[in-house]
A and B are shown apart, each in its own frame.
Chain A
Amino acid sequence: MQLQDKYRIAVLSAYALALHGFEALLPSPIPWFRLGLANIITITSLTLFGFRTAMMITLVRVVLGSIFIGTFLGPSFMLSLGGGIAGTCAMGAVHSVSKTLFGPIGLSLIGALFHNTAQLFLAYLLFIRRIEAVLVISPVIMLIGIISGFANGVVADVLIKNILKNDPDSIQNVARA
């Protein structure tokens, strides 16, 4: 890892953390409803800087975010960590197979889907232990994930285009993993 990678990860993690914290402050109409705004940063860094950077940012964001909000090592931290890792891995896998098949919106949808699936699976394993409850709730969660994933994808797309257009120098010296 180069020094520049470290700077990059630090700055992007700060952005992701800010979004993560901001989102925790928003009142949510449904208890399990979250926008996943921090995923915008994950998608952007995955597309511009590669999988390793994106995964580092996700890990830093989840751990530090839970420390700031006060849920570190609690149940929601487990769900957040599992969902974050699964989502980033899924997006990274798809992105490494083909860079042109899916755009940011498609990546965001995949990330949201895997994030939610992993969370449901973990919630089932750790807390609920009732397959009916999980089955009943999953279409709702999936639909919310599609909507918020789409919105995040649009923002990430605009962000990536703007960075590439206005500041192409910032993505030089990228060690593609």
Chain B
Amino acid sequence: MKKAIKNTTLADRALFLILLIISAAGFFYSGEALSLGSEVVVEVKGRPVYTLSLDVDMELEVEGSHGHGVVEIKKHKVRMKDAQCDNHICVRQGWISRGAIVCLPNDIVVIVEPGRKTDIDAITG
């Protein structure tokens, strides 16, 4: 084993390194490609009210059961900017790029979902 590694030519080592770098770079790039397809679903009282793209920066006022909440999308992240409720747990949760924000008093749920484009429906081999 050690002898075999010692016997590698310069080109062998260069190839090994280059391939490792490319695949490592590919991991970062593919992560970006995944998040590009994501969308934000805003649900009020269990019903999806808005479906927004995570790519477009915007602010949105949502009417909940207790008052209104303000959803803000910026730089592929989403947060509850403001909400009319007592505890403000949803506001304190801050920016998310995956998962969900739940505002229980207002019955508003903000879910980040992967876009339909990146769903893999078949793996073979």
Partner of A31, one of B3, B8, B117, B125: B125
Partner of B19, one of A75, A76, A100, A142: A142
Number of B residues whose C-beta is below 8 Å from A?
A: 33
Mask, A111-152, CB within 8 Å of B = 1, is 001000001000100011010110111111011001000100
Interface pick from A14-22, A40-48, A85-93, A102-110: A102-110
C-alpha spacing A119/B123, complex, angstroms: 12
Query: In the complex, what residue of chain B is closest to A101 when comparing beta carbons?
Result: B11
C-alpha spacing A124/B40, complex, angstroms: 29
A:14-63 near B, CB below 8 Å:
31-32, 34
Q: Is the interface of B mostly helix, strand, loop or mixed?
A: helix
Mask, B5-16, CB within 8 Å of A = 1, is 101110110011
Note all chain B residues with C-beta closer than 8 A to A102: 9, 11-12, 15
C-alpha spacing A20/B25, complex, angstroms: 31
Interface pick from B30-38, B46-54, B70-78, B95-103: B30-38
- Minimum distance in angstroms from B63 CB to a CB of chain A: 35
C-alpha spacing A79/B124, complex, angstroms: 9
- Docked-complex contact A133 and B125, CB < 8 angstroms: no
Binding site for A on B (CB under 8 A): 1, 3-5, 7-9, 11-12, 15-16, 19-20, 22-27, 29-30, 33-34, 37, 117-125
Q: What are 20 residue pairs bridging A and B, where the CB atoms are less than 8 Å apart in the complex?
A: A31-B123, A31-B125, A102-B12, A102-B15, A103-B7, A103-B8, A105-B5, A105-B16, A106-B12, A109-B19, A123-B124, A123-B125, A128-B120, A128-B122, A132-B33, A139-B24, A139-B27, A142-B19, A157-B7, A161-B3
